[in-house]
């Protein structure tokens, strides 16, 4: 029997889900449904969550950012804290592969947990075989 996949969300995946973006929302919904079936929450770095909250506030306003936070609490989504060791590994990924800062935390968490990273960002392809990605359509 195959073990169920574990997933980590990149910021653009959760934002696309919240905004019901074509091609992204349905795939992310499927990831959440699979997580519920397997009693295995989807993961997100606290740094990545901060990026989601910032983007929602910047482009949709403060009230919408807090609504997004409330909605996220209703999902099978677990926000993983960042400690010094995790930050060190993310910093090394950023330096070696040239990812953005928040993206490095998403990649680090996916690698550490042997999980698939759900993203629309092709920049993660820089990590090659070190990272499994479920690529979403670009916005």
Query: Cα dist. 46→1, 3, 8, 34, 43 in Å?
Result: 32, 26, 12, 22, 10
Say yes or no to pLDDT of 139 above 60: no
**Is 97 within 8 Å of 126 (Cβ atoms)?**
yes
CATH number assigned to the domain comprising residue 30: 3.40.50.1010
Q: What is the mean pLDDT of residues 91-97?
A: 93
Distance CA 126, CA 135 (A): 13
Domain count across the chain = 1
**Does the global pTM surpass 0.85?**
yes
Which residues, 6 or more positions from 78, have their beta carbon under 8 angstroms from its beta carbon? 41, 42, 43, 44
Structural domain boundaries enclosing 24: 7-135
Q: 83 lies in a domain?
A: yes
Q: Each residue of 68-86: pLDDT tens digit?
A: 999 999 999 999 999 999 9
- Each residue of 41-70: pLDDT tens digit? 999 999 999 999 999 999 999 999 999 999
Task: Note whether residue 1 is domain-resident.
Answer: no
């Amino acid at each position: 029997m195959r073990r169920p996949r574990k997933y980590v969300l990149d910021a653009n995946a959760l934002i696309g889900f919240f905004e019901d973006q074509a091609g992204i929302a349905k795939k992310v919904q499927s990831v959440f449904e699979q997580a519920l079936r397997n009693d295995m929450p989807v993961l997100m770095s606290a740094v990545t969550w901060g990026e989601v909250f910032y983007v929602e506030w910047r482009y949709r306003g403060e009230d919408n950012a807090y609504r997004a936070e409330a909605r996220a609490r209703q999902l099978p989504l677990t926000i993983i804290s960042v400690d010094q060791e995790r930050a060190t590994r993310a910093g090394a990924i950023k330096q070696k592969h040239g990812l953005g800062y928040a993206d490095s935390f998403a990649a680090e968490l996916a690698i550490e947990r042997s999980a698939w990273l759900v993203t629309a960002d092709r920049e993660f392809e820089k990590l090659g075989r070190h990272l499994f990605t479920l690529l979403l359509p670009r916005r």
